[in-house]
Structure 1
Amino acid sequence: MQIRVIPGSSAAIYRQIADQVRRAVVSGELSIGDAMPSVRVLAKELVVNPNTVAKAYAELIRDGVLESQPGRGAFVAKRRNVFTRAERTRRLDEALDAAVSAGLVLDFTSDEILARMQAKLEELK
């Protein structure tokens, strides 16, 4: 798996890392039990502070995407819903609000935004 960060992006670097790992798990690029690079190794590859990678990993562990094995590192966790339906819905609504708002600010029409969302859904299936 190749992780790339965009330093000037409006998304925090730790968020870019976490989102890319999530997508890789959902798409099957990363499988249950796959080892993640160590915090130091990934930080060096991305030329970012190790604390940034540690923050991304901590979020992914908290969300149940990764699991930490002391002395061994971080691994892709077994898929499980660690959030209630209400919490998952709240998080999805928050992400959709941000995406739709960004699209509107960029002068895309509602139809164009819907078409891009549909294309992304198909891409990630």
Structure 2
Amino acid sequence: MIVIDYQNRKPIYEQIVERFQTLIITGAIEPDSQMPSVRSLAVDLSINPNTIQKAYSVLEQEGYIYPVKGRGNFVSGNSELKVKKQEAFFVSLEGLVKKGKELDVKREIFLQKAEEYFKEGSYDRN
């Protein structure tokens, strides 16, 4: 479910946050289902429980999960999360397009590459 890339410069808790965000947004983890406990996930990943707790705190602040006292953390059913994530993607895409223009990347080449990359993945989910 979660794989840590120790060669990645991104902090471990951010990697965990991003992976869970993707799993929640794509529906791989259903709304109102229980998240793994901090302790069990820490053992599975062989990392400090404080790192998991920090990731869960970020996920809670962003609305991906909610805590239930004495029972653990559960996945939020917030449908706006996907929209927010897509908006952030388009902001990033805008930056890439601007950078491409600065580098004199032609529109046709940009669109061709975008189509190639889109076909490479399994992005046929709407």
Structure 2: tracts of 5 or more residues without a match: 100-108
RMSD: 3.1
- Residues 14 and 55 of structure 1 are in contact (CA less than 8 Å); yes or no, is this contact kept in structure 2? yes
Conserved 8 A contact 1:27-1:124? no
Match for 1:75: what amino acid?
A: F
Number of the residue aligned with 1:122: 123
* Aligned counterparts of 1:112 and 1:92: Cα–Cα separation in 2: 17
Match of 2:25 in 1: 26
One-letter code of the match for 1:77?
A: S
Report the Cα distance in structure 1 between the residues aligned to 2:125 and 2:51, rounded to whole angstroms.
26
Larger Rg: 2
Q: Runs of at least 4 residues of structure 1 off by over 3 A?
A: 91-98, 109-115, 117-121
Q: Per-residue deviation at 1:117?
A: 5.6
Instruction: Give the superposition deviation at 1:81.
Output: 3.4
- Over residues 64-85 of structure 1, what are the superposed CA-to-partner deviations in whole Å (9 max), with x where a residue is unaligned? 1000111100100121437xx7
TM-score, normalised by the number of residues in structure 2: 0.70
Identity of aligned residues (%): 26
Report the Cα offset of residue 42 of structure 1.
0.3
Give a deviation string over 1:50-109, Cα, whole Å, max 9, x none: 111111100100011000111100100121437xx7xx84x44665559xx8xxxxxxx8
Matches of 2:125 and 2:21 in 1, distance apart?
11
Aligned residues: 113
**How much has 1:112 moved relative to structure 2?**
3.9
Partner of 2:103: none
TM-score by length of 1: 0.71
Match of 1:7 in 2: 6
Deviation of the 1:115 alpha carbon: 3.7
* Contact preservation (8 Å) 1:64, 1:80: no
